[in-house]
Amino acid sequence: MLIHRHKTVAYNAAASVAADRLIELCINCIILLVGLIFLLQARLFAVTAPIDTTAGITLHILLVGSILLALAISKTLLSHWLDAICKKYGSRLRLARASTWLQTAERRTGDILRQPPRVLMLYISTSLVRWAFMIAEFWLIYFACGLPLSLTQLIGAVLAARLAFLLPLPGAMGALEGSQVLTLNSFLLDPSIGLTVCLLVRALELLLICMGGGLVWSWLHVR
């Protein structure tokens, strides 16, 4: 869409998307880690993920943070690795072009990350506001289903849902439902309400997908 609709150069489009995804992933992992620590401090061992899950999220933060730091100081790690592969297995035209393109995209990503601190703080604030709305949405759906959750229960339910979406499953199919059932069971609450909430969440997702698809269709057919 950026390339064909807005005539953006390919590596600039890739750089903007890469920077957005990496920063958002890092912020999400940090919030998940803080939430898990909060639940551990609340001694809700039946609800919290095992220690290895917490360690896994910490490793994700370190990995993504290292990639962001490397890009911010103009280190082109991916293109460097691709160059090493080309030298080891024979340089081919496509790989050489891909390496040059990737190096340019990495440098543009680094330029994006070297924005003034106020720009990055605005982006982080926007992500935190999005998380606040997501938590409020979860509480409202559970409240509408007749189960107002306490703060601790709400954090447990939201974290379980977000961890489910990190699994390599399309749309966290089955994982989201299982996470809510297990969470409510741990809180000694009715797990059927968790399934009802998941159905409502899926309905909202389908509505948003249809709206987004309609917008894309209208954009592609505008002459």
pLDDT at res. 46: 47
Residue 94 pLDDT > 70: no
CA distance 143 to 61: 33
Q: Which residue has the tokens 């209208």?
A: 218
Q: Mapping DSSP to helix (H, G, I), strand (E, B) and coil, where does residue 35 land?
A: helix
Span of 56-60, 122-126, 206-210 with lowest mean pLDDT: 56-60
Q: Where are the domains of the chain?
A: 1-114, 116-223
Both tokens of 180, joined, read 């809510």
**pLDDT tens figures, 109-162:** 888 788 788 888 888 888 889 899 989 999 999 999 888 888 888 988 998 888
Query: Quick one: pLDDT band at residue 56, thresholds 50, 70, 90?
Result: confident
Name the residue type at position 3.
I
Name the residue type at position 220.
L
- Mean pLDDT (the chain) is 80
pTM for the whole structure: 0.74
Task: Check if the beta carbon of residue 26 is closer than 8 Å to that of residue 61.
Answer: yes
Query: How many helical (H) and strand (E) elements, i.e. helices and strands, does the chain have?
Result: 9, 0
Both tokens of 187, joined, read 């809180």
- Which one of 32-41, 42-51, 53-62 scores highest in mean pLDDT? 32-41
Percent of the chain's residues with pLDDT above 70: 88
Residue 201 pLDDT > 60: yes
- Which one of 38-42, 44-48, 53-57, 172-176 scores highest in mean pLDDT? 172-176
